[in-house]
């Protein structure tokens, strides 16, 4: 696993808004991790060198619409125009709203 510049060096890039856009961290030993964020700082994707990954989507207000990870867990949410959660469900069968 390498960063977007093709190395294993630590690397952090920022959006013009000042929010983190990309982060690659070379941890201890062989543990590497990478995050990609939108211009509001919401993490869109995460992966590490141990084959674990996460992906999320967000609405304009920053509410998380979807989430899934490499362990087959997922979540889905809907929100009203004010950002209030209307409905939530996950792969464990939990629902609210």
Ordered mean pLDDT values, 10 residues apiece, the chain (97 residues): 93 95 89 96 96 97 96 98 95 97
Instruction: Decide: residue 71, CB within 10 A, 0-12 exposed, 13-18 middle, 19+ buried.
Output: exposed
* Sheet containing 53-58: order of strands: 11-14, 20-26, 32-37, 43-48, 53-58, 64-69, 74-79, 85-90, 95-96
Reduced to 3 states (helix: H, G, I; strand: E, B; else coil), residue 76 is: strand
Asked if 45 and 61 sit in the same domain, the reply is: no
Asked if 61 and 44 sit in the same domain, the reply is: no
Asked if 63 and 45 sit in the same domain, the reply is: no
pLDDT at 27: 86
pLDDT at 28: 75
Domain that holds residue 81: 57-97
* pTM beyond 0.85, yes or no: yes
Total domain count for the chain? 2
Asked if 1 and 45 sit in the same domain, the reply is: yes
């Amino acid at each position: 696993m390498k960063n977007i510049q093709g190395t294993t060096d630590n690397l952090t890039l920022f959006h013009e808004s000042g929010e983190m856009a990309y982060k690659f961290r070379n941890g201890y030993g062989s543990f590497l991790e990478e995050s990609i964020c939108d211009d509001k700082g919401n993490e869109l994707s995460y992966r590490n060198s141990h084959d674990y990954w996460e992906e999320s989507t967000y609405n304009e207000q920053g509410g998380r619409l979807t989430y899934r990870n490499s362990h087959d867990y997922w979540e889905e949410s809907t929100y009203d125009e004010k950002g209030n959660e209307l409905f939530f469900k996950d792969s464990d069968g939990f629902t609210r709203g």
